[in-house]
Amino acid sequence: MLFPRSTVLAAMLVVSSRAFRANVLPAWVSVASFARGRSLSSAAASSCSAATGAAPDMGCAAVVTGDLQPQPLFKFFEELSSIPRASKHEAAALAYVKRFADDRGLPWREDGYGNMVVEKEGMNGGEGAPIVVIQGHVDMVTEKNSGSSHDFLKDPIRLLVEGDWLTADGTTLGADNGIGVSAALALLDMPVSSGARLPPLECLFTVEEEIGLVGAFELDGSLVKGRTMLNLDTVKWGSLFVGCAGGGDSLITLPVEQEAVDPASYESVAVEGLMGGHSGINIQEDRGNGVKLLIRVLEAVLEGVPSLHLVDLRGGDKHNAIPREAFATILLPKGDSDALKAAEEIAGAVLGDLKMEFGTKEPSMAVQIRKDADAAVGTCLGAGATRRLLSLLELLPHGVVKISHDVEGLVETSSNLASVTPIEGAQGGDAGGNGTYEILCSTRSSLSPPLEAVRRRIKTAAELCGASNVLRRQAYPGWQPNLQSNVLKVARDELRVLLNGEEPGIEALHAGLECGVIGDKAPGMDIVSFGPTIDGAHSPDERVNIASVGKFWQLVLATLEGLATKQQ
C-alpha cells in the first residue's frame, strides 16, 4: 500500500490518554527533529553493531535514530537492526531479549520452539487489571537488491533517514515487525516514574513468522496467561485490524530432461527492477511478477529464434514476496551473432509491450540479455522439458482471484507464484540426464473452500505438465472478525481521539497475521491489531513513516491505559 508523505510534527514518549483528550502536551514531551535527506549507517562506528551475531551493548546510544521520537522505541529498533534475524536464525535476537529481561529483573519463559514471553507487573494504578499480551515476531524478511553484497546472516541492517521516512540501504528494513518488537521492549523498559498507567503485561515474541507463521503454529498455548492481546504487526496507521486471511503453500516438484550439447555461447536473460512487495498487502496492485514476465520474454525469444535453447531459469525466493526479478540462461550456437541480435531485438520489443501494459506501475522495469560467464557447459533442457516448464509457469495463477462480496474492496482470494528454483542437475552439466525444478505458490483466502479450490487448480496444472509431486503444506487459519470485542472498543475510542474525532477504519487484512493461530492456541483471546505506516514491506524499498511511529506509540499507551482501568 502507498500512503502520502507527511511532515513530522511531534512524537511522544509517554503521554496519558487524559492529556490527549485535553490537547495539552506535558512539558517534558520532546518534538522530533531531524535533517531531511540525512543518510547514516547503523554499521558505521556503532558500538551497537552485532555483525558477528552477538547482542549489542544495551547502554549504547542510537547512532542513526538518536533524533527520532519516541526515542526509547527507535533506540531499541536500532539495536535490534544490528542483530541478524532472518527466519530460522533468530537465536541472537532472542538472546538479546533474554539479556534485556535479565538486566531489568523481568521474568521470562520460553516454549520448546523458541517463542518467549517476558512479564512486567502493572503500575500506576493498573496493577489489578487483567493481563494484556503484547505480541510481535522477531524474524524479518531478507530481500536485497541484486547489486547488494549484504549478508543477512552476519551483517547489520544499514539504516537511513530520508526525509519523513526511515529505510535501509538496499535491503529490507525489518520494520515488519521490528517496530512492534521495539514497542514491546520500550513498554518493558518503562519505569514507574514515567507516570504511565499499565496493566500487567506479557510480551510474546514469536519466531519464524515470515516463512508461514511457523512459530505461532508451534506455540505452547500455556506460555501466555492473558486473554487480551495487542498484535503490533500491521502496516497502515489510522486503522484497526480485526481479521485476516488464511493461507497455504503448494510446492511443486517438476522433473526435467536434459540433453548434451556441443560447447556454445551462453547468455543470461534478466527481468529486473520490479517493485515486488508483500504478496498479501500488495497483490491487488497488479505489480509485475518477475517470473511471469520472464516467461513472456522467453516464449517470444525461443519462438522467434528456434536455434536457441533454454539451460535454466530461476526467480523469487520468499513465499510471501512478489518476485522482483527473474533470470534464465539460454544457449546460442557458437559464433551465431545473428541469433543473439535477433534475440535482443525480440526481448526489446517485449519490454516495450510490458512498459505499455504496466505504465507507471513499474517505472524501473528492465529486460536485458548479457553474457553469462558463469553458466554451466555441456547441457540444456530438452525441447519437451522446456515446453512443460514454461507451460506450467504460464498456467499457474498469480494475482487476485476473487474480491469479497461481503466486504467492499477486500481481496478474498489470491495466489502468488513465489519462486522457481532449479535443483541438482537442472542447471546443466557435462552430460545429459535428469534434473528437477521446485516451484512454490502461496495462496491466501478469507475462506477455506476457495483457498483449497485454488490449490487444487495448482495441483491440476502441475500434474498435467508432468509434475512428480505437489506438496500442499498445512494451511493456516484466517482470523475471523469479532466486532463486539472489548479490546477493539477500547482501542477504537482511543484512536478516535488521536484522529481528532474522525472515525477509525475497522478492517480485515489480506495477509497472514498470527492472531488466528494464537487464538486457536489460547482459546478466548480477545485481539486487535494495529501499527505504523510501512511502505514496501518484504522488499528492499521497505520504509516506515517516522511520524506514524510516534502516533502508533501514543495509541499503544492510550489503549493500555484504557485497559488498565478495568480491574480484576
Q: Strands across the sheet with 526-529, in order?
A: 108-110, 116-120, 201-206, 132-137, 228-231, 526-529, 239-244, 505-509
Rounded CA separation 84/157 (Å):
8
Residue 406's SS3 state is coil
pLDDT score, position 204? 99
**Residue 31, number of CB atoms within 10 A of its CB:** 12
Grid cell of 514 as nine digits = 498470527
Cα distances from 37 to residues 53, 149, 161, 175, in angstroms, run: 30, 24, 7, 19
Q: How many CA atoms lie within 13 A of 425 on its CB side?
A: 13
* Contact indicator for 1, 235 with CB cutoff of 8 Å: yes
SS (H, E, C) 373-427: CCCCCCEEECHHHHHHHHHHHHHCCCEEEEECCCCCCCEEEEEEEEEEEEECCCC
457, amino acid identity = R
* Contact indicator for 97, 118 with CB cutoff of 8 Å: yes
Q: Which residues contact 88 (CB under 8 A, 6 or more apart)?
A: 139, 208, 211
Residue 209 annotated as catalytic: yes
Mind giving me the DSSP string for 193-249?
GG---B--EEEEEE--GGGTSHHHHT--GGG---SEEEE-----TTEEEEEE-EEEE
- The number of angstroms, rounded, from the C-alpha of 493 to the middle of its chain's C-alpha atoms is 29
- The number of angstroms, rounded, from the C-alpha of 374 to the middle of its chain's C-alpha atoms is 31
| Catalytic hit among 90, 139, 372, 535 | 139
Name which of 58, 61, 50 is nearest 92 in CA terms. 50
Q: Which residues contact 9 (CB under 8 A, 6 or more apart)?
A: 31, 32, 547
Rounded CA separation 51/49 (Å):
6
Residue 106's SS3 state is coil
Rounded CA separation 194/147 (Å):
46
Given phi > 0 = left and psi -120 to 50 = alpha, else beta, which region is 391?
alpha
pLDDT score, position 26? 30
Residue 111 annotated as catalytic: no
Given phi > 0 = left and psi -120 to 50 = alpha, else beta, which region is 117?
beta
Q: Which of the 8 DSSP states describes residue 32?
A: P
Report whether the peptide linkage leading into residue 70 is cis, meaning its omega lies within 30 degrees of zero: yes
Q: What stretch of H or E contains 527?
A: strand 526-529
**Residue 441, number of CB atoms within 10 A of its CB:** 27
pLDDT score, position 31? 26
Give the length of the chain.
568
Using the CB atoms, write b or e for 397-409: b if 16+ within 10 Å: bbbbbeebeeeee
Cα distances from 63 to residues 49, 192, 467, in angstroms, run: 10, 27, 52
Task: List the beta bridge partners of residue 332.
Answer: 265
Grid cell of 370 as nine digits = 548479457
Q: Domains in the chain, ordered, with CATH?
A: 17-245+478-564 (3.40.630.10), 248-472 (3.30.70.360)
Rounded CA separation 544/2 (Å):
11
357, amino acid identity = E
pLDDT score, position 247? 92
pLDDT beneath 50, residues of the chain: 1-53, 429-431
| Catalytic hit among 78, 164, 189, 209 | 209
331, amino acid identity = L
| φ and ψ of 464, to 5 deg | -65, -30
Q: What stretch of H or E contains 126?
A: none
pLDDT score, position 42? 44
Q: Which residues contact 383 (CB under 8 A, 6 or more apart)?
A: none
